[in-house]
Amino acid sequence: MTKKKLNVGLIGYGFMGRTHSNAYCQVNHFFDVPYKPVLQVVYGLEENVAKDFAGQWGYKSYTTDWHKVIEDDNIDQIDICVPNNMHAEIAIAAAKAGKSIICEKPLALNGPQAEKMVEAIEKAGVANLVSFNYRRVPAVTLAKMLIDEGRLGKIFHYRANFLQDWTISANVPQGGMATWRLDVKAAGSGVTGDLLAHCIDTAMWQNGRIDSVCAMTETFVKKRMHVETGKIEDVGIDDACTFMCRFGNESLGNFESTRYARGHKALYTFEINGEKASIAWDLHDLHRLSYFDHSDESIVRGWRSVHVTDGDMPYMDKWWVPGLQIGYEHTFIHQIADFLKGLAEGKPASPSFREALATQYVCDAVLASAKDKEWKTVKKA
C-alpha cells in the first residue's frame, strides 16, 4: 500500500519527545497504517540540545521558536511534549492552523483552560488525541475488554495507586528540565495532574464517569530552590493526594498518589472488584493481568496470572511470538498506530481533547475538595 506522508512537528525533546519520536519511527515497521510519519522539525529550549536531538532521531531541522513550527505550511501534525503550562497556547494555535494534534497529558493546567482548547479544536475540526498511553498497555486494554464483555458483572470497587519516591529530598529543585513538575506555574498541580490524571483516565475509560470526590492533599517540602530564579521559593504543588469517589454506576473508588513512597519508582496499580470476577494490574509487571473468576470450581478457584502475550490479545499479534514481551515504549507506538488508523478512517482515536477535559474536571474537583475539605461534584464534560 502506498502510504500518505504525514509531516510531523515535535514540540519538546525531553522524556516524552523521545517516546513519541520512537513511536513515529517504529509504527510503520509493525502496523499497517495508511500514513508514513516524516520527522520534519523539533522544537526545544536549548539550540544545541535540539540540534543533537534532531540528528539522533532524524528530524530534518530544529528550532527554539515553536511558533515557527505552527506557521510552517509543510507541517501536518503538531505533537505537544512540553510542560503543561505551554499546552493550551500551542494547541489552540495549531488548531487554528488546521494541524492534527497529539497533546501530552494532562491536557491543561485546569478545566477552564482545557475548555478553551476543546472549543478551538472542535471549531477547527482537526484530529486530536491526548496521550494517556497506559490505556494501550495490552493487559490494560484486555481488562477494559473483559469489563465491556460483562465478565465482572456489576462493579463495586475501583482502586488505583501511583506511587513514586523521587522528590523526598528537599534538595530537588523546582523549575527547569524534568523538575518543572514541582513548579505549580508550569505544572498546574503536583501528583494530581501528573500521576492521578493517568489513573483517572484509565478508571473512567474502564468504569465510566466519576460523579463526586472527597480528597486530601499534602505538600511535605514547602520551599525549594527554583532553577530559573536561583531563589528559594514556596512550593505550590501537591506532593501527595488521596481521594475517594463515587462513579456514575454506583461503584466506589479509592485513589492514592505520592512522590514520597520510599521504595517505589513508578508503582501504578489498579484493582477492580465486580460481582462475578475481579481484575488487578501492576505497571511493574505490565504483561500480567491478575484475574479471579468466582464461577470457577471452588477447589481450583483462585487468582489467575494471565500472561498477556498471545496473538489474540490486544495489540500482541503485531509483535513477536506468544510468551515474548514488549514494554513501556510500545504503548506510544500503539497510540500513534490507532491515531493514524483513525485519521484515515475519519474515526478519531480515544481519548480526545473532550474526553481529557472530563479527566481535567475530576482533577479540579479533587484539588478543590482538598482545599475546602468537603465533597465536590464533578462538572460534566
Ligand X SMILES: NC(=O)c1ccc[n+]([C@@H]2O[C@H](COP(=O)([O-])OP(=O)(O)OC[C@H]3O[C@@H](n4cnc5c(N)ncnc54)[C@H](O)[C@@H]3O)[C@@H](O)[C@H]2O)c1
Q: Which of residues 182-211 bind ligand X (CB under 6 A)?
A: 194
Residue least distant from ligand X (Cβ): 14
240-247 sheet: strands from edge to edge: 304-307, 288-293, 277-282, 267-274, 155-163, 252-258, 240-247, 210-218, 376-377
For 187-203, letters b (16+ CB in 10 Å) and e give bbbbbbbbbbbbbbbbb
Considering the complex, state which of residue 287 and residue 376 has its C-beta at the smaller distance from ligand X: 287
Q: Which of residues 120-159 bind ligand X (CB under 6 A)?
A: 131, 133
The answer to the question of residue 81 lying near ligand X (CB under 6 A) is yes
The answer to the question of residue 79 lying near ligand X (CB under 6 A) is no
The answer to the question of residue 17 lying near ligand X (CB under 6 A) is yes
CA 291 to chain centre: 24
The answer to the question of residue 277 lying near ligand X (CB under 6 A) is no
The answer to the question of residue 267 lying near ligand X (CB under 6 A) is no
Distance between terminal CA atoms of the chain? 39
101 contacts 324 by C-beta, under 8 angstroms: no
List the x/- string, 168-187, binding to ligand X by CB under 6 A.
Answer: --------xxx-x-------
**Could you tell me whether strands 252-258 and 240-247 are parallel, antiparallel, or unpaired per DSSP bridges?**
antiparallel
Size (the chain), residues: 381
The answer to the question of residue 361 lying near ligand X (CB under 6 A) is no
The answer to the question of residue 351 lying near ligand X (CB under 6 A) is no
Q: Which of 95, 102, 105, 268 binds ligand X (CB under 6 A)?
A: 105
Complete DSSP assignment for 112-157: HHHHHHHHHHHHHT--EEEE-GGGGSHHHHHHHHHHHTTTT-SEEE
Which residue has cell 520527522? 39
CB of 194 to ligand X, least distance (A): 6
Q: Which region holds residue 246: left if phi is over 0, alpha if psi is between -120 and 50, else beta? A: beta
List the x/- string, 31-70, binding to ligand X by CB under 6 A.
Answer: -------------xx-------------------------
Bond before 106 cis per omega within 30 degrees: yes
CB of 14 to ligand X, least distance (A): 2
The answer to the question of residue 84 lying near ligand X (CB under 6 A) is yes
The answer to the question of residue 82 lying near ligand X (CB under 6 A) is yes
* The one segment of 10-18, 112-120, 159-167, 349-357 that binds ligand X by CB under 6 A: 10-18
What is the dihedral angle through the alpha carbons of 91, 96, 101, 106, rounded to the nearest 10 degrees?
A: 20
CB of 38 to ligand X, least distance (A): 20
Residues near ligand X, by CB under 6 A: 12-17, 44-45, 81-84, 104-105, 131, 133, 176-178, 180, 194
